[in-house]
Homo-oligomer: A and B are copies of this chain.
Amino acid sequence: MFEKYVKLLREHSMKVTPQRLDILKYLDEHRVHPTVEMIYMELKKNNPSLSKTTVYNNVETLEKHGIIQSLTISGNELRYDFRNDMHCHFICKRCGRIFDIDIVCPNIGKVEQSGFKIEEVHGYFKGICRDCLKKEEMENGS
């Protein structure tokens, strides 16, 4: 069940703790880019003694080791992503859902040529998602 995550932590010479495994498994199985609050609330159900500080500590450490990444797309809270490869995101202003967009930025080279050392690239699109557009059509009857 957890072998995959044990392996992942060992590869980064991180201590294997039940809390860490829970968090990793949760992020892996819930690719909606959850907040700390969401992770905490969900995992608390099966481990009532879990501390929110532990969730904060762990997502921070996991990100520092490059295992997961954080998104600043929403502005008022960080979202976490089990995927650590470069990809873009779309956030729907109606329903708030965040979608993966699998495109790569073709401009990285250009930016680096102007003297910046790039360590992270984030592409955020904001607008209305398919479902919400359809829902709108239904209501308007256009």
- Which of B72, B88, B118, B119 is in CB contact (< 8 Å) with A74? B72
> Does B125 lie within 8 Å of A124, measured CB to CB?
no
Copies in the complex: 2
Q: Which of chain B's residues have a CB closer than 8 A to the CB of A78?
A: 75
Q: Which of chain B's residues have a CB closer than 8 A to the CB of A101?
A: 111, 114
Please report the C-alpha to C-alpha distance between residue A57 and residue B6 in the assembled complex, in whole angstroms.
48
Check if A106 is an interface residue, CB within 8 A of chain B.
Answer: yes
The distance from the CB of A104 to the nearest CB of chain B, in whole angstroms, is 9
Check if A66 is an interface residue, CB within 8 A of chain B.
Answer: no
Q: Which of chain B's residues have a CB closer than 8 A to the CB of A90?
A: 111, 116, 118
Check if A103 is an interface residue, CB within 8 A of chain B.
Answer: yes
- Name the residue on B nearest A118 (C-beta): B127
- Name the residue on B nearest A136 (C-beta): B117
> Does A126 lie within 8 Å of B122, measured CB to CB?
yes
Check if A133 is an interface residue, CB within 8 A of chain B.
Answer: yes
A sample of 6 more A-B contacts (CB under 8 A), given A72-B74, A90-B116, A117-B133, is A72-B124, A105-B105, A116-B130, A117-B128, A121-B124, A122-B124
